[in-house]
Amino acid sequence: LDNIVWYKADAVEDAWGSGFDVVVLAGNILFNIMSETDYAQAQQQMIRRAAGALAPGGHIYIDYQFSMHPGLLFRSSGKMVIWEGTDSEGNSGRMFLTEQSFEESTGMLSFVRNFDLTLKDGRRLERKIPSKKHYIQLEQLHDWLDSAGFAIEKEYGDYAGNPIGETTGRAILWAVKKSVGK
């Protein structure tokens, strides 16, 4: 496509440019930030960077795994499989979480990310990565969007367009950057 421009940069610290029609923050990107900045501050900074990159009337699309009760979701003592399967090259494996905990007062998740891969040549790779992430509550995301100058136009709890609720597993938002003075 000739109407798409790609940049590679530090999404938290670097400028994003300006005048864009759409910014996409999907695939749980807000949970996978690598930054020296406080995690919640880095997430909010990405929302502000998106606002700065958009032309007035431009849109932001946000999509991430969401639960109305993260303390219940992330208190499992067992394995939480995130993905597993075999790719087109014949490599197989899975990534799963263990040792999960959620701190309600800070919104911080702690867990060990486990990778168990078998490459097509038979070599096996195993990695355990201790991780801490800030879990964004919907009200907090609404506040961040509002303070960055966005108005939410659509909000869904799954890809079928159902509202966010007890049985949905995503937060999908489509918001417009308000024009100055609106």
Residue 157 and residue 175: Cα distance in Å, rounded?
A: 15
- The pLDDT tens digits for 123-146 are 999 999 999 989 999 999 999 999
Name the CA radius of gyration of the chain, rounded.
18
Could you tell me the end-to-end alpha-carbon distance of the chain, in angstroms, rounded to an integer?
A: 33
Share of the chain above pLDDT 70, in %: 97
Q: Which tokens belong to 33?
A: 């930030």
Domain 78-134 has CATH 1.20.1630.10: no
Fold for the domain defined by 20-68+135-177: Rossmann fold (3.40.50)
Q: Is pLDDT of 15 > 80?
A: yes
Q: How many C-alpha atoms does 41 have within 13 Å on its Cβ side?
A: 5
- For the chain, the domains span 20-68+135-177, 78-134
pLDDT on residue 11: 85
pLDDT on residue 76: 65
- The pLDDT tens digits for 36-77 are 888 899 999 999 999 999 999 999 999 998 988 888 877 766
Amino acid at 121: D
72: CB partners within 8 A, 6+ apart: none
